Structure 1
Amino acid sequence: MARLPTDVETEIDRFCNDIKRNTYTRSADLALATIFMFKKLIGESKWSNASELITLIRSQAHRLNQGQPVDSITFNITRRILKLIRDVSVRIIHGKNEGSDISLTLQAVLNDRAATSTFNDDDNENIEENLQPKTQQIRTNLPDSSAINNVEGEVSVQRLKPELMDDLNWYSSDIELSVKNLSQQALAHIHANELILTLGYSYTVEQFFKYAASKNRKFHVFILEHAPFFTGHKMAVNLSALNIPVTVVTDSAVFAIMARVNKILIGTRSLLANGGLTAKSGTYNLALAAKHYNVPLLVCAPTYKFSPTYLPSFDPVMCNTFPSPENILSYESIYQSSLDIVVPMHDYVPPELVTLIIGSGMGNAPSYVYRIVSELYSAEDNDLERLQKESLK
């Protein structure tokens, strides 16, 4: 069984304490810190093959994600790294260029089918005979599913570690550039003289607005203040510094101003596999008002915020955080010791209230999120949610 060195154990404890103290103010910083933690674990721990490494990471998943919602970024990064380990293992065993060979063979079949599409029905037998060898070649190139499931035990640490570290470095770079790549789509969604509504502060949304303004796109931003935390004031100050016209609006006035708004642009904490999202408290009311007035709701979300958690497993407690209610009601004003005050930080917004999800690559409908999630993570790792629940019992 793989073991953890003492300094790795210490680093994991420090990382967990930083999360509890909310040291990471930006989601990208948390994602990068999680990857750095796993790189240290992979680089300094004792393991002999990919199978042992996967077991080691899964055994530490409940510690790294302790106290975090099951759709949190640390969970997503954990699952993504497990997927990378499996992908690298398959790539080593079956060859690096296998995927491109399959694509070229498939393209040849499609080209032949297009070239023969003008033939008569009498030529169908000849067409099938021409396509049969190439179709058989695709089947031959595809790795056997049973072989894929067993490659982890065949890949040694000497072969796996260098390539895996390269992939993790690439993954870190992708996260660092995710907001920049996302914001470069701003001109496709923000048009001249539009009135755009947002909620509170989001670094991703701020960069989205800044990029559009840097290209001399004129627009006006309504900002809901997001009480009781009032993060909307920070957004207003930052946008005003770039001469972007802003108006701060109270949360209760969202329905009154919705008829004047052209579109809504918000950030999110996570995107669930069904296309729904968990976002700042107040987002659900905002989405309902937008639905009533048929105002499009656009969500900015880098791919590391995509979570494989589905709605049937959504738990308002497991998928939420509850800060101190001091901002709502001071301790001095509480006269009953049995009074419970709950301050949820996030709302769940169902996919039918979301118009478009703007990711790092392109915009997608909420119904397409499940497809992206299936490419990012392995189905074998969906039980990390169960491990998290068991660790809390």
Structure 2
Amino acid sequence: MARIPVDVEIEIDRFCNNVKQSTYTRSVDLALATILILKKIIGESKWSNASELITMIRSQAHRLNEGQPVDSITFNITRRILKIIREVSVRIIHGKNEGSDISLTLQAVLNDRATMLTMNDDEYENPDDNLQLKKKQQVQADLTESMPINSIESEVPMHILKPELMDDLNWYATDVELSVQNLAQQALAHIHANEIILTLGYSYTVERFFKYAAAKKRQFHVFILEHAPFFTGHKMAINLSQANIPVTVVTDSAVFAIMARVNKILIGTRSLLANGGLTAKSGTYNLALAAKNYNVPLLVCAPTYKFSPTYLPSFDPVMCNSFPSPENILSYESLFQSSLDIVVPMHDYVPPELVTLIIGSGMGNAPSYVYRIVSELYSAEDNDLERSQKKSSR
């Protein structure tokens, strides 16, 4: 039976408190912290095989994501690590890596086992080759239907799985740590000379994207929407100006007026959904509508750990948002405070038809291709983590 030690439980509580207190200001920091806590769970907990490990991690996913929206980075990292566990398990059983598609690799394992059974079973020693082939195919079909992935995972013991799994997790952590840098290296392919590029508020990924292009002597001008009432655009303007990038801060209300002068829009995102839509900071939807009206391309910078297999229509939109204190809008000392209901949503949903290109850690893709990337990143059986959380909260 899988069991988590007390000291790891304390680490999990510390991680959850840090998330609730917004200690991780950058999304990449949250992603790396999630990988670290899951490595602690895997490395220091008691479990006997891959199946028990997967069950234990799934049981902790809701706890790690407590207080966050359903399409958070924590869920995505958890799904990816579960996929890595399954990949390593199948690789150990099969003896070689058939690629990233687990379904194909698992099918090869089942086919190999079926072939061995039919070769060793005297029942199928029939001179009629056609009949023997049909029986062999029937055994393969029966094995495929009767042996779920869990039975494959339960055959991989801890002492064999853990060393290879920890190596893969170290590689994955390095990949996440370098994801923003790798994404920024695509800047020269998307930012051309003397362009005017519009962005909204502050995004660490977008900042690195701009700075990489400027470091390569690419000349361009950045218009920055200030993103009221938080005014994070001012931080972006200061950081870019320090890198000698020409910037102009624009009020949010002027987005439609300046759109005719803009060559393209470059924004970050909190989460990229399976249908190609995205959740981003408030004001992005208005920005996308104005861009659509003027046929200005909208480019989204999204590292792979922000790709989520969820669909916003499956959940309450309020559940997928966060609402900070309205103090920035109206002071608590105001005379009108008691007679007004002030809602301050942090994020907007942007449908895929308003997005032109998704710039990931590899190459740019259309929003319609996101579902394929998601299917390669995660296992289908882990896509129900949010629904499981919703059921458990009832």
Under a length normalisation based on structure 2, what TM-score does the superposition of the two structures give?
0.87
Instruction: Tell me which amino acid in the other structure corresponds to 1:325.
Output: P
- Find the aligned partners of 2:306 and 2:376 in 1 and give their Cα distance: 14
Instruction: Tell me which amino acid in the other structure corresponds to 1:212.
Output: A
Name 1:169's counterpart in structure 2: 170
Tell whether the 8 Å contact from 1:48 to 1:156 is kept in structure 2 after alignment. yes
Seen in structure 2, the aligned counterparts of structure 1 residues 313 and 245 have a Cα distance that, compared at 3 Å, is same
Seen in structure 2, the aligned counterparts of structure 1 residues 336 and 260 have a Cα distance that, compared at 3 Å, is closer
- Find the aligned partners of 1:312 and 1:230 in 2 and give their Cα distance: 30
Seen in structure 2, the aligned counterparts of structure 1 residues 334 and 144 have a Cα distance that, compared at 3 Å, is farther
Name 1:14's counterpart in structure 2: 14
- Find the aligned partners of 2:25 and 2:68 in 1 and give their Cα distance: 15
Tell whether the 8 Å contact from 1:4 to 1:41 is kept in structure 2 after alignment. yes
Per-residue CA deviations over 1:63-116 (Å, capped at 9, x if unaligned) read 11111111100010111111111111111111224449x99xxxxxxxxxxxxx
Count, aligned residues: 355
> Following superposition of structure 1 onto structure 2, how do residues 98-117 of structure 1 map, counting pairs within 5 Å?
98-99=98-99
Name 1:327's counterpart in structure 2: 328
- Find the aligned partners of 2:149 and 2:11 in 1 and give their Cα distance: 33
Name 1:317's counterpart in structure 2: 318
Instruction: Tell me which amino acid in the other structure corresponds to 2:316.
Output: D
Tell whether the 8 Å contact from 2:221 to 2:245 is kept in structure 1 after alignment. yes
Instruction: Tell me which amino acid in the other structure corresponds to 2:20.
Output: K
- Find the aligned partners of 2:236 and 2:213 in 1 and give their Cα distance: 15
How big is the shift at 1:333? 1.2
- Find the aligned partners of 1:376 and 1:153 in 2 and give their Cα distance: 22
How big is the shift at 1:391? 4.2
Percentage of identical aligned residues: 85
Name 1:259's counterpart in structure 2: 260
Instruction: Tell me which amino acid in the other structure corresponds to 1:264.
Output: I
Tell whether the 8 Å contact from 2:220 to 2:246 is kept in structure 1 after alignment. yes
How big is the shift at 1:154? 0.5
Per-residue CA deviations over 1:1-49 (Å, capped at 9, x if unaligned) read 3111110111111000000000000000000000000000111111000
How big is the shift at 1:335? 4.2
- Find the aligned partners of 1:304 and 1:99 in 2 and give their Cα distance: 20
Name 1:118's counterpart in structure 2: none
- Find the aligned partners of 2:31 and 2:204 in 1 and give their Cα distance: 15
> Following superposition of structure 1 onto structure 2, how do residues 214-225 of structure 1 map, counting pairs within 5 Å?
214-225=215-226
User: In structure 2, the residue corresponding to 1:47 is in which secondary structure?
Assistant: coil
Higher relative contact order (CA 8 A, sep 6+): 1
Seen in structure 2, the aligned counterparts of structure 1 residues 98 and 292 have a Cα distance that, compared at 3 Å, is closer
Per-residue CA deviations over 1:150-174 (Å, capped at 9, x if unaligned) read 2111000011111111111011000
Indicate yes or no: 2:370 matched with 1:366: no
Instruction: Tell me which amino acid in the other structure corresponds to 2:82.
Output: L
How big is the shift at 1:337? 4.1
Per-residue CA deviations over 1:319-372 (Å, capped at 9, x if unaligned) read 111111110111111546474322110000000000000000000000000000
Name 1:79's counterpart in structure 2: 79
User: In structure 2, the residue corresponding to 1:155 is in which secondary structure?
Assistant: coil
Name 1:353's counterpart in structure 2: 354
Per-residue CA deviations over 1:362-388 (Å, capped at 9, x if unaligned) read 000000000000011111111210122
Instruction: Tell me which amino acid in the other structure corresponds to 1:242.
Output: A
- Find the aligned partners of 2:318 and 2:373 in 1 and give their Cα distance: 26
> Following superposition of structure 1 onto structure 2, how do residues 276-355 of structure 1 map, counting pairs within 5 Å?
276-333=277-334, 335=336, 337=338, 339-355=340-356
Under a length normalisation based on structure 1, what TM-score does the superposition of the two structures give?
0.87
Name 1:377's counterpart in structure 2: 378
Per-residue CA deviations over 1:229-286 (Å, capped at 9, x if unaligned) read 0000011011111111100000000000000000000000010000000000000000
User: In structure 2, the residue corresponding to 1:333 is in which secondary structure?
Assistant: coil
User: In structure 2, the residue corresponding to 1:332 is in which secondary structure?
Assistant: coil
Tell whether the 8 Å contact from 2:331 to 2:337 is kept in structure 1 after alignment. no
Which moves more between the two structures, 63-72 or 285-294?
Answer: 63-72
Runs of 5+ unmatched residues, structure 1: 104-139
- Find the aligned partners of 2:371 and 2:255 in 1 and give their Cα distance: 31
Tell whether the 8 Å contact from 1:90 to 1:148 is kept in structure 2 after alignment. no
Q: What is the alpha-carbon root mean square deviation over aligned residues?
A: 1.9
Instruction: Tell me which amino acid in the other structure corresponds to 1:76.
Output: N
Tell whether the 8 Å contact from 1:66 to 1:388 is kept in structure 2 after alignment. no
Instruction: Tell me which amino acid in the other structure corresponds to 1:152.
Output: E
Name 1:42's counterpart in structure 2: 42
Runs of 5+ unmatched residues, structure 2: 106-139
Name 1:188's counterpart in structure 2: 189
- Find the aligned partners of 2:188 and 2:224 in 1 and give their Cα distance: 20
Instruction: Tell me which amino acid in the other structure corresponds to 2:260.
Output: A
User: In structure 2, the residue corresponding to 1:264 is in which secondary structure?
Assistant: strand
Tell whether the 8 Å contact from 2:276 to 2:367 is kept in structure 1 after alignment. yes
- Find the aligned partners of 2:220 and 2:340 in 1 and give their Cα distance: 46
- Find the aligned partners of 2:25 and 2:183 in 1 and give their Cα distance: 19
Seen in structure 2, the aligned counterparts of structure 1 residues 244 and 336 have a Cα distance that, compared at 3 Å, is closer
